[in-house]
Amino acid sequence: MNWNEIRKQFPALAHTTYLNSATFGQLPLRTQAAVANHFARRDREACADFLTWFDDMDGLRALIGQLVNCQADEIGFAPNAAAALSLFLGGINWQPGDRIATLPNEFPNQFYYAQWLGHKGVELIEVPGLDSLPERTRAIVLSTVNYTNGYRPDLLRISQQARDAGALLYIDGTQSLGALQFDIAAIAPDMFAVDGYKWLLCPNGATFFYITPALRRQIPPAVIGWRSDKGWRSVDDLNHGIPEFPEAAERYEGGMLAFPSLYGMAESIRMVLELGPATIEARVLSLANQTAQILEASGAAIQYANTNIVAAHWADRDASQLARTLRTKGIIVAARHGNLRVSPHFYNTEEDLDVLSRSLA
């Protein structure tokens, strides 16, 4: 694989040492072109072909299914990951005393709605490692990779625990998909959501979610609009009665989609599939492990190994100040919860890591 040639798809890398894909992934030129092509098509066709855009989105669902191993009709779109999680938590018939289990230091998305459900008598419980579940756990909500320290929970074990307890399992894959592989058939979540603007290299506003047929029978649409009826494609004669919801995951979309962002998502996923998810994962973990060695050599303690997010802590260095100093040198990283967070992607090189190493000396 010629990574230096692939790197040319990312113009920002020509003038920065970008090691911050856990905040934003860089947009490939081919993805930018796909978005521009959509706008050019709008002008050319004067939007008279807008129903074919939905056909293209069905093609995107199939691409996503290929990436995460599920059926195309199990994929829906949302404006962001918070909307997908709100659909999940908002659709459960909660009872006083029910509990939601999560990991400590999860991303705020995983906390806020669950804590807000306290007015219904629902309790959010943080369980280190999710090694055991509290009584009356109705749902487990967690990320594939922790955004502050790179912790990767044992998803297969947690999935089995959820099934044994009769709890629903919601997984947010925003901090890994595009860098690390995810197999829905193997892990068997009830719902899985990914906001594509990080590791999946998509424009903002491109989020997908997977939802099982069983959960679709349980959770009603939170947004009901003209696409909430099975006959929505008959735009010349739309149903004005009670809508009959589609069986597929599109039942949750309600109306128009963020087509420019989703056309961009389709092109970015094509790129990931062409490079090969397994090849990308091996490259990312190799770069991340080299990064960890560099940070350890500078005196840092590393939180977790073999992960795409490398979190370093120094006893005598302030992570936020260090991130600001590195930025003045053209090195883009982040600080989260007292850690310096370095997150290389497949488009990074060993030369990028050498630049980081020299700047930390």
pLDDT tens per residue across span 107-117? 998 889 999 99
Average pLDDT value for residue range 304-322: 95
pLDDT at 233: 86
Q: Identify the structural domains of the chain with CATH numbers, from first to last.
A: 3-27+276-360 (3.90.1150.10), 32-274 (3.40.640.10)
pLDDT at 239 over 90: no
Shortest CA distance to 265 belongs to which of 206, 191, 335? 206
Give per-residue pLDDT as tens, 116-133: 999 999 999 999 989 899
pLDDT at 237 over 90: no
pLDDT at 27: 98
Cα 296 from Cα 313, distance rounded (Å): 9
Give yes or no for a contact between 344 and 19, defined as CB atoms under 8 angstroms apart: yes
Can you give the pTM of this predicted structure?
0.96
- CA-to-CA separations, 331 to 58, 61, 73, 199, in angstroms, rounded: 39, 36, 42, 18
Q: What percent of the chain has pLDDT over 70?
A: 100
Give yes or no for a contact between 336 and 320, defined as CB atoms under 8 angstroms apart: no
Q: Cα dihedral angle (66, 67, 73, 75), rounded to 10 degrees?
A: -170
Shortest CA distance to 207 belongs to which of 174, 256, 175, 179? 174
pLDDT at 61: 99
Average pLDDT value for residue range 85-111: 95
Shortest CA distance to 30 belongs to which of 56, 12, 60, 10? 10
The three-state secondary structure class of 11 is helix
The three-state secondary structure class of 208 is strand
Using the CB atoms, write b or e for 157-175: b if 16+ within 10 Å.
ebbebbeebebbbbbbbbb
pLDDT at 235: 81
pLDDT at 234 over 90: no
Query: pLDDT averaged over the chain?
Result: 96
Q: What percent of the chain has pLDDT over 90?
A: 93
- The model's confidence at residue 241, banded by pLDDT at 50, 70 and 90, is confident
- The model's confidence at residue 15, banded by pLDDT at 50, 70 and 90, is very high
Cα 187 from Cα 89, distance rounded (Å): 20
Give per-residue pLDDT as tens, 160-218: 999 999 999 999 999 999 999 999 999 999 999 999 999 999 999 999 999 999 999 99
- The model's confidence at residue 98, banded by pLDDT at 50, 70 and 90, is very high
- The model's confidence at residue 226, banded by pLDDT at 50, 70 and 90, is confident
Q: Is the dihedral of CA 239, 244, 248, 252 positive or negative?
A: positive
Give per-residue pLDDT as tens, 65-90: 999 999 999 999 999 999 999 999 99
pLDDT at 161: 96
pLDDT at 1: 83
122 contacts: CB under 8 Å, gap ≥ 6: 94, 96, 98, 99, 100, 114, 138
